[in-house]
Amino acid sequence: MSYFGTDGIRGKFGELPITPDFILKLGYVTGRVLIENNDNPARRPSVVIGKDTRLSGYVIEGALQAGFNAAGVDVHMLGPLPTPAIAHLTRSFHADAGIVISASHNPYYDNGIKLFSGDGKKLTDEMQNAINDKLKAIMSGVEDEDADGLLMPIIDPAQLGKNHRIDDAKGRYIEFCKGSFPYQYDLGGLTVVVDCANGAGYSVAPRVMRELGANVIAIHNKPDGININANCGSTNPESLQQAVLEHNADVGIALDGDGDRIVMVDEAGKLVDGDGILYVLATQSQDRTEGVVGTLMSNMGLELALKAADIEFTRAKVGDRYVMQDLEANGWILGGEPSGHILCLDKSRTGDAIIAGLQVLAVMQAQGKALSVLMEGFEVLPQKLVNVRLNKMQDPFEHEELVAAFDKAQATLEGRGRLLIRQSGTEPMIRVMVESDDEIECDVMANDLADHIKAVLG
């Protein structure tokens, strides 16, 4: 079995694998893998650890720190910061790995661990497999043959790792974000509402915008450990839309709990998701992009709009890891998902909500146009997404009754729409997505299929 899902290790806090005991062992075995791969024996491996604002983050942080120290690895503690900040600071500190404690857009009672390699990218499959193999051994009680029967041996107490609290981590990341904004422009004259989702970006996101000259109205920026993503943020943008209208703002920006997803709201309160952001950056920026990588979830309207602009478009599997792979394979710099994971590889090596938002604001300032005007030419096909929560994860394609229903729906949509059925990589959930040129058909078909899945799988 693998403890790793599509985006690290995630679950409800207090239940395996998100328990203090397991996480201590995760820190230890990850540290041992880093030591085994250390090609400079004169230098002790080090990691950076950051987190979002969940209350359980304190417990996980302490367990990870103890595990890494026991393995002989130094730890740099960053505190609450967005996921892309941890990726950036991993490179900045020349650390061997970066660790993010977050469950992204999930509720407060979930948490997780995501690992970056030393270059700030997602951990390689080889490294992840090595960690997973050691985890399986230690969780099954298999002893280390060179460790006198101990499951987590301390080779030499003199070689224990040390801890360092990085007090200027926020400032370092803020300057990095500001450095992605064109030097010849600022945000003077713009009123920007920023929904921080009571998450990891609650402090840095408003500061970045203010320091670039914007009039910032911050909402959902008072985390209490349990209000992260609660009726706010990129997955619940309704309060942002209302705030933009109430304050007569020029634009709104919503982050998710760990600050790697973004959706925006134009001056009229209309939502602009990841597809819309990709459209603006691909077609309206001064440096025209050669191609864009979307995913299976990207709206067909984006594909058609980019085709009209003579910009290539390809679809990757769902997940920013796969978007990154396709971007590197094609030599392109722009890609992302409708959910708001946006990769601008000329600015950052990972999905970054703040940096993506700044690039859209830069286009607005450079052209002197509102976001609604920049979106002209992009027509979204009606799309309905229904999430079917299950008691436990099951594969719907293993049931002939469901496969027959999917085939019938796809035949109905042939040539004028799409059907996508996929399993969540982090939750016991099936996602049903229907696109059609008929909005009513879209809604009815998606809900009917969702009900059918729930009836069969429970």
pLDDT, position 125: 86
**CA angle, residues 33, 39, 41, in degrees to nearest 5:** 95
pLDDT, position 144: 54
The closest of 186, 208, 303 to 253, measured between CA atoms, is 208
d(CA 192, CA 437): 34
Structural tokens at position 361: 């604001």
The b/e string for 66-94 (b: 16+ C-beta within 10 A; e otherwise) is bbbbbbbbbbbbbbbbbbbbbbbbbbbbe
Please name the residue that has the structure tokens 């709206």.
Answer: 299
The closest of 254, 454, 237 to 354, measured between CA atoms, is 254
pLDDT, position 142: 63
CA distances in angstroms from 208 to 98, 267, 437, listed in the order given: 23, 20, 40
Q: Are the C-beta atoms of residues 303 and 294 closer than 8 Å to each other?
A: yes
d(CA 116, CA 124): 9
pLDDT, position 310: 95
pLDDT, position 174: 98
Beta bridge partners of 100: 50, 114
Each residue of 173-205: pLDDT tens digit? 999 999 999 999 999 999 999 999 999 999 999
Q: In what order do the strands lie in the sheet with 97-101?
A: 9-12, 110-117, 97-101, 46-51, 74-80, 163-165
Q: Are the C-beta atoms of residues 358 and 84 closer than 8 Å to each other?
A: no
Structural tokens at position 161: 């790792």
Beta bridge partners of 98: 48, 116
User: Which residues participate in catalysis according to the annotation?
Assistant: 104
DSSP three-state, residue 253: strand
User: Could you report the average pLDDT of every consecutive run of 10 residues in the chain (458 residues)?
Assistant: 87 96 97 93 93 98 97 97 97 96 96 94 89 92 56 85 96 98 97 98 98 98 98 97 98 97 98 98 90 94 92 93 94 97 95 97 98 95 92 92 95 87 86 92 95 93
pLDDT, position 86: 97
pLDDT, position 123: 85
Helices (H), 285-393: 300-308, 320-330, 353-367, 371-374
Residue type at position 405: A
pLDDT, position 41: 82
Q: What's the burial of 156, exposed, middle or buried (CB within 10 Å: 0-12/13-18/19+)?
A: exposed
Please name the residue that has the structure tokens 């002209």.
Answer: 376
